[in-house]
Copies of this chain bind each other. A is one copy, B any other.
Amino acid sequence: MKRYFLSEDDIPRQWYNILADLPNKPRPMLNPQTHQPMTAEDLFPIFCEECAKQEVNTTDAWIDIPEPVRELYKYYRSTPLVRAYGLEKSLGTPAHIYFKNESVSPIGSHKLNSALAQAYYAKQQGIQSITTETGAGQWGAALSYAANVFGLDAAVYQVKISYNQKPYRRSIMQTFGAQVTPSPSMSTRAGKNIINKNPNCQGSLGTAISEAIELCRTTDNCRYTLGSVMNHVSLHQTIIGLEAEKQMEMAGEYPDVIIACFGGGSNFGGIAFPFMRHNFIGERKTRFVAAEPESCPKLTKGVFQYDFGDEAGYTPLLPMLTLGHEFMPANIHAGGLRYHGAGAIASQLMQDGLMEAVDIQQIETFDAAMLFARTEGIIPAPESAHAIAATIREAKECIETGEERVILFNLTGHGLIDMAAYEQYLSGSLHNYATTEEDIHKFTDTLEKLI
């Protein structure tokens, strides 16, 4: 282990907006009724104005980080870039493995990078309360913390399976003053409809998003925030890659391959997009690999279609690689990756062959997590363990070829709240879940009707 830090002055002052530089822009979000492209103004009832503008900004490659947000970033940034000598040695690989350690934020994950920005913009606009969804709770915890910092009320719908699997994260959100409701709940029409159809439904991010949007729509002076999928969330997360770029320079190397786990795409975009711009101008040939669960394989097995971002169909139609908005992923512990679709930018990048994806079974991710914990001393979140597993696959390839490949992955968060999952692993009671073609066709075959 060797760590690289930036001085406070070197912490980036702007986020990188890849939309300005993409060879092919994603297709626009559409109004589900009119099928017309959505403007920023169309999004104002749901998102803060500044976030809505960022969402559709395809011209400015650099967006200033508001100074109060950058001040709050300084509480935990720069996060360390770490050379994982221990992991390299135990694998016996000639690869050079680096990871960006986002687990050191106060709430334990990268999610705070966007939560602080979204809460700040809400406060600036005079908003009183914010709603959101969360899976494993990393985003909900970040949002609760950020809302508390800016004096906003926060209401979080947490996917029921995670609410029950990870009670400590619920308590963290409550400690920061948020109201937390397991989703699906009877508190919204969307939730009631799901429960009526399936009383034992354990929820999904898609359902929780529906409930959070519905609460936002029915509450005065309230806006909805979310932790991934949308362009502006990835934008805020680019602080990760921009720092990593400077830190890799300190280490005297440049990544051949960059790996991130993939739920909606914000941590992937966060670490990958800043490096992609060098590929776009032919300066570099870095590979970008998204690691997703085999039980929720939208990138490797999904269809490229307009789809809703939520289960109830409250969102605009988004151009997505998707498993269908009614797809209900298996109850894996990586709750943050249990989302049916990929954000518009990543979906376009996949179409254009500018990134790759792998899908990984749950037990392989925990094998990787255990090895990482014992060699690097940090217990990773189950989501991050997907990136570690993909990294180990790459590093093992290098054993065959003798290649000194430089691998950089994003350690999105620690797993201290996920120890129940580790306990299952240690006791041999953890399961794999695969997704069949049939599972996918069930919810994607009808998507063409949407548009």
A interface residues (Cβ-Cβ under 8 A, vs B): 1, 3, 74-75, 104, 106-108, 145, 148-149, 167-169, 171-172, 174-177, 370, 373-374, 377-379, 416-417, 419-420, 422-423, 426
Complex: how many Å from CA A100 to CA B416?
22
With A174-B422, A175-B379, A175-B426 given, can you name 16 additional A-B contacts, CB distance below 8 Å? A1-B75, A3-B74, A106-B377, A108-B416, A148-B374, A148-B377, A168-B168, A168-B420, A169-B419, A171-B426, A172-B422, A175-B370, A175-B373, A175-B422, A176-B373, A416-B417
B106 touches A416 (CB 8 A): no
Closest to A177 in B: B374
B423 touches A167 (CB 8 A): yes
Q: List 27 A-B contacts (CB under 8 A).
A: A1-B75, A3-B75, A75-B377, A104-B104, A106-B377, A106-B378, A108-B416, A145-B377, A148-B377, A167-B419, A167-B420, A168-B416, A168-B417, A168-B419, A171-B419, A171-B420, A171-B423, A172-B419, A172-B422, A174-B422, A175-B373, A175-B379, A175-B419, A175-B422, A175-B426, A176-B373, A177-B374
Quick one: which of A171, A374, A378 has the most chain B CB within 10 A? Answer: A171
B75 touches A172 (CB 8 A): no
Closest to A107 in B: B377
Which 6 residue pairs across A and B have the least CB separation, nearest first? A168-B419, A171-B419, A106-B377, A171-B423, A416-B416, A171-B422
Complex: how many Å from CA A230 to CA B357?
53
Closest to A149 in B: B377
Q: Inside 8 A of A374's CB, which chain B residues have their CB?
A: 148, 175-177
Q: Inside 8 A of A169's CB, which chain B residues have their CB?
A: 419
Q: Inside 8 A of A167's CB, which chain B residues have their CB?
A: 419-420, 423
How many Å from the CB of A327 to the closest CB on chain B?
31
Complex: how many Å from CA A423 to CA B173?
11
Closest to A75 in B: B1
Closest to A423 in B: B171
Quick one: which of A106, A377, A426 has the most chain B CB within 10 A? Answer: A377
Complex: how many Å from CA A378 to CA B148?
12
Complex: how many Å from CA A49 to CA B169?
43
Complex: how many Å from CA A309 to CA B168?
34
Complex: how many Å from CA A169 to CA B416?
8
How many Å from the CB of A87 to the closest CB on chain B?
13
Complex: how many Å from CA A97 to CA B23?
52
Complex: how many Å from CA A106 to CA B172?
19
Q: Inside 8 A of A379's CB, which chain B residues have their CB?
A: 172, 175
Q: Inside 8 A of A177's CB, which chain B residues have their CB?
A: 374
Q: Inside 8 A of A148's CB, which chain B residues have their CB?
A: 374, 377
Complex: how many Å from CA A99 to CA B370?
33
Q: Inside 8 A of A74's CB, which chain B residues have their CB?
A: 3
Complex: how many Å from CA A149 to CA B370?
14
Complex: how many Å from CA A171 to CA B419?
6
How many Å from the CB of A321 to the closest CB on chain B?
34
Q: Inside 8 A of A145's CB, which chain B residues have their CB?
A: 377
Closest to A376 in B: B106
Q: Inside 8 A of A420's CB, which chain B residues have their CB?
A: 167-168, 171
Complex: how many Å from CA A307 to CA B52?
68
Complex: how many Å from CA A436 to CA B137?
43
Complex: how many Å from CA A378 to CA B172?
10
How many Å from the CB of A172 to the closest CB on chain B?
6
Complex: how many Å from CA A287 to CA B160?
50
Complex: how many Å from CA A301 to CA B169?
38
Complex: how many Å from CA A168 to CA B174?
19
Q: Inside 8 A of A419's CB, which chain B residues have their CB?
A: 167-169, 171-172, 175, 417
Q: Inside 8 A of A416's CB, which chain B residues have their CB?
A: 108, 168, 172, 416-417
